[in-house]
Amino acid sequence: MLCVKGGLELLQTFGVFPQDKASLYSFDEAIYFIIHFSTLKYVASALAISCGIQLAYMLVTEGPDEAVEPIMLGVASGILLILSDANATEWDADRSVAVFLLIVSIPVLYASSRWMNKNREEEKKQRQERRINNKKET
């Protein structure tokens, strides 16, 4: 659907379709709908669904580090929803701060994920070394 929208917008740019809303709406309701639906809302919804699926998968895996990536997806989805819902005339400092903090949280979450994975790998190595030492002692 998004590819069709992109193609129609490209054709509209080259003058195949009229630019004004009244002429376009009378041209064809389906084309008007495709060109004017909010792409960011659909992408944000898809990210939110993906986040939910990954969080459900996290429930059957071990370790809390599996939850960080879905949370990052959820944050990205939230950013896109805020951006898609905002009207330029209604944009204020509160939304700017919210989007900024959400954007800053993504690298923080990524760094914490790397840190948890590193600690998890070190713990696995220590367990393996203990098992090897226990086998040697017996």
Tally the C-alpha atoms within 13 A of residue 65's C-alpha that lie toward its C-beta: 13
pLDDT for 97: 92
d(CA 118, CA 133): 23
Beta strands in 16-135 (DSSP E): none
Token code pair at residue 16? 């195949």
d(CA 19, CA 37): 15
Backbone CA torsion sign across 111, 116, 117, 121 = positive
pLDDT for 91: 83
Q: Of 36-40, 48-52, 68-72, 111-115, which gets the smallest average pLDDT?
A: 36-40
pLDDT for 18: 65
pLDDT for 107: 94
pLDDT for 87: 75
Cα-only R_g, the chain: 24
Q: Of 9-13, 43-47, 61-65, 90-94, which gets the smallest average pLDDT?
A: 61-65
Domain boundaries, the chain: 34-85, 89-137
> Confidence class of residue 125 from pLDDT cuts 50, 70 and 90?
confident
